[in-house]
Structure 1
Amino acid sequence: MEVHLYEQLYRHIVQEIQIGKLKSGDRVSSEKELAEQFGVSRITSKKALEKLAEAGVIKRIQGKGSFVAHGTAGELEQKRHWEERIIRMPEENGRQLIGFIISNFSDEFGLQLLRSMEKQSAEHKYDLIIKRTWGSREEEERAIQLLGSLGIKGLIVTPIHGEHYNEGLLRLVLDKFPVVLVDRYLKGIPVCSVYTDNKKAAKELTLHLIERGHEQIAFLSPPVENTSTLEERLLGYTLAFTQEGLKLNEDYCLTNLKGILPINMHGTASESDKNTVKHFLEQYSDVKAFVVSEYLVATMLAQVIDALGRSLDDYDIVCFDSLNDHFGKPIFTHIQQDEKRMGEEAVRLLVSQLSGEAVPEQRIIEHRMVVKK
């Protein structure tokens, strides 16, 4: 993949110059900034900048950065000047591009998914371009437009959390552009989706706690509205109570924790979440069991319990996609999603669409529960 991506970065910068977003003397994004923006290696971004410098499109000044080279005429003449300098590089081995848009990826979820998709794409002779949106609807819309301008043939998307669907994504679906959603689906929208049965998984976690003798069980999550993954997990939690004939206390459902969302990762929301959880623990001291929709929320809960001077051994915390400790043991009892299989299926279903084949709207990938000893 890395052999080809520098060409896409090259053309992206040229396009920004053509449309006037970058003008003579403007600073161009650094190797590090380009690598983070496009989800590529520093080697790839460095090569793109080197090619731009060789073509005279930019000027690289050691210790200061890269800048758009100065033209000798006005903006219209400058635009023609850049168009004449575009390097027309043939597609190597005839490979075509597919895109992957995701809010973020990390060790607990997303990294294995990405590796699987890269490998599967290469096996089908496609190059995969990755764009992270950091949970921003504007960035998601921009990513769709950017990948479209680069000529992708199909798109895999993990939509951001939110109350409204992205109009750009809906347009692609309605236009029958090859799209596969991964890790969630859009209610009422006929688009191929690959995901875990989160309702079943959350029900299993809740029943596990009930079997351990708990009846007062809380549910912690970011806002669930219009995020199928979280909605299904909340539903699975409630169904477990119904199945066992237990009363569900709605006050035990905290679904307003926003600190772990990518768009809030560097803000003050995480401190607000800790205060919310602290207040809950103090108000409902008898609650010792928690079903948590996200691993990072589970770790935050554990930190608050510890900060209150309480023993974690007195609590049962279960979640999704937990990491292991330094000894290779799970930190929490958790649902382990099969990211490798999800990635493989997402690419396979997209390639099937590109070949004109009919694909199912739903592809559910089996999960497993890992119990902390």
Structure 2
Amino acid sequence: MTDKPLSTSLYEQIKHFIRSEIGRQAWKPGDLLPSEHELTRRFAVSRITVKKAMSDLVKEGLVYRIQGKGSYVSPMDGKAPAAPSGIDSVPLRSPVALLLPFINNRFNALLLGGVESVLAEAGYPLLFCHTGNSQANEERILRRLKQAPLAGLIVYPVEGETYNRELVQLALDDVPFVVVDRDLRGIDTHFVGADNVAGAREAVGHLISLGHRNIGFVSTVVAGTSSIEDRLAGYEQAHADYRLPIDRRFRLAHLEIEVPKQAELRSFLARNPDMTAVFAINPGLGLEVADAARGLGLRLPQELSLVFFDDFEFSEFHAVRPSCVVQDSRQLGQEAARMLLAVIEQPRRERRKLFLPPHLLLRDSAVPPVRREA
């Protein structure tokens, strides 16, 4: 079928096969080519891979398409004949799929809007998929999407220590694919996210500059989620910057998502009365810490200062306006979409990782610690 080396990707093998068949005149100008479904079966690949290979051949002028009819070998002059009934022979844009773990927060809503604005301008429809932060759902959705005529995917992975097989296969198949927010370490992918290390480092450094020495770190399970790992690294680097030892008593880093946390947080605060500040990895946990502190009769921020990563809607109207690390999630979505468009145009381009700088928004929840009398 092909004299290409076995190491050549399936994506390139498909293009080489079609070029070879046209070159030896097995298919002549004007002939209808095998359908995407037939090529998918022949090469045992996803429809995304086949569609991208065909799109490249259209750009080369070797193939033209007629909507609703199929793909054809171009005439010798490389010019596709006019499509009947006024149908444009230029291929229509296939949709881009966006997978998000949550849709119930401000961050993801703005991210989605950023992605959509760039894709719409480029003529790509957006297909949104909600994984519910479940690896099983994520894998099932990706398996289904492999059969759809997509131009590419943007994936915000779920939390967890392992990556599902479908994500790994996307990278191996050279499918146009960009990861946002949570990098897949150990897998070579295009990625856009915030500089979580720098953001956490600045936040904890601010607490230290206010005079805090016993600073808590509160998170869900750290291992396997790059954004949380990086925020912990930033917390530790801030201590190193000020040459402060890290006391592991002040780390609560195993909380489960969607599990009641008040009892565990109250216990954590009660057994560490010398802890004067807390850095939490997200607004949900930050607000939970505040509720637990109030439940113990602690005054915020006088007896417990608090800073967390990301802002939340209407935070300006909160009883104690939170100081937080702010990342521009709309810009993150825009940059992810731009990166994907570049990958669609040049699938074999070198993998790129883009880290956007966040900034610390200072409000009322972090103040110098109260000097308690002995």
TM-score, structure 1 as length reference:
0.70
Give 1:249-288 correspondences, 5 Å limit.
249-258=247-256, 261=257, 264=258, 269-270=259-260, 273-288=261-276
Whether the 8 Å contact between 2:280 and 2:309 is mirrored in structure 1 is yes
| 1:308 maps to 2:306 | no
Unaligned runs of 5+ in 1: 1-89
Partner of 2:100: 102
Matches of 2:130 and 2:274, distance apart in 1 = 41
Matches of 1:176 and 1:350, distance apart in 2 = 12
| 1:337 maps to 2:335 | no
Matches of 2:141 and 2:265, distance apart in 1 = 35
SS of the residue corresponding to residue 110 of structure 1 reads: helix
Matches of 2:318 and 2:90, distance apart in 1 = 42
Whether the 8 Å contact between 1:352 and 1:359 is mirrored in structure 2 is no
SS of the residue corresponding to residue 107 of structure 2 reads: coil
* Pair 1:185–1:330, CA change in 2 (3 A): farther
Whether the 8 Å contact between 2:191 and 2:354 is mirrored in structure 1 is yes
Give 1:1-373 correspondences, 5 Å limit.
94-258=92-256, 261=257, 264=258, 269-270=259-260, 273-313=261-301, 314-323=303-312, 324-325=314-315, 327=317, 331-356=321-346, 358=349, 360-373=351-364
Unaligned runs of 5+ in 2: 1-87, 365-374
TM-score, structure 2 as length reference:
0.70
CA-based RMSD of the aligned residues comes to 2.1
Matches of 2:245 and 2:264, distance apart in 1 = 23
**Offset of residue 107 of structure 1:** 3.3
**Offset of residue 300 of structure 1:** 0.5
Matches of 1:158 and 1:363, distance apart in 2 = 15
Q: Identity of aligned pairs, percent?
A: 29
* Pair 1:330–1:92, CA change in 2 (3 A): farther
Question: Which moves more between the two structures, 130-139 or 90-99?
Answer: 90-99
* Pair 1:330–1:96, CA change in 2 (3 A): farther
Matches of 2:361 and 2:307, distance apart in 1 = 10
Deviating beyond 6 angstroms after TM superposition, the runs of 4 or more aligned structure 1 residues are 90-93
**Offset of residue 93 of structure 1:** 8.8
What letter is aligned with 2:307?
V
**Alpha-carbon deviations, 1:177-206, whole Å to 9, x = none?**
111000121112110000111011111011
Matches of 1:194 and 1:232, distance apart in 2 = 14
In the alignment of these two chains, the number of paired residues is: 274
Whether the 8 Å contact between 1:190 and 1:361 is mirrored in structure 2 is no
Whether the 8 Å contact between 2:200 and 2:235 is mirrored in structure 1 is yes
* Pair 1:304–1:328, CA change in 2 (3 A): closer
Matches of 2:319 and 2:143, distance apart in 1 = 43
SS of the residue corresponding to residue 95 of structure 2 reads: strand
Whether the 8 Å contact between 2:306 and 2:322 is mirrored in structure 1 is yes
Whether the 8 Å contact between 1:335 and 1:367 is mirrored in structure 2 is yes
Whether the 8 Å contact between 2:197 and 2:233 is mirrored in structure 1 is yes
Matches of 2:316 and 2:198, distance apart in 1 = 30
* Pair 1:211–1:326, CA change in 2 (3 A): closer
* Pair 1:239–1:91, CA change in 2 (3 A): farther
Whether the 8 Å contact between 1:108 and 1:321 is mirrored in structure 2 is no
* Bigger radius of gyration: 2
**Offset of residue 91 of structure 1:** 12
* Pair 1:284–1:118, CA change in 2 (3 A): same
Matches of 1:145 and 1:128, distance apart in 2 = 18
Matches of 1:188 and 1:281, distance apart in 2 = 36
Whether the 8 Å contact between 1:322 and 1:331 is mirrored in structure 2 is no
More helix by share: 1
SS of the residue corresponding to residue 221 of structure 1 reads: strand
**Alpha-carbon deviations, 1:39-69, whole Å to 9, x = none?**
xxxxxxxxxxxxxxxxxxxxxxxxxxxxxxx
**Alpha-carbon deviations, 1:154-184, whole Å to 9, x = none?**
0100111001111110001011111100012
* Pair 1:318–1:350, CA change in 2 (3 A): same
Partner of 1:8: none
Whether the 8 Å contact between 1:183 and 1:194 is mirrored in structure 2 is yes
Matches of 1:151 and 1:242, distance apart in 2 = 50
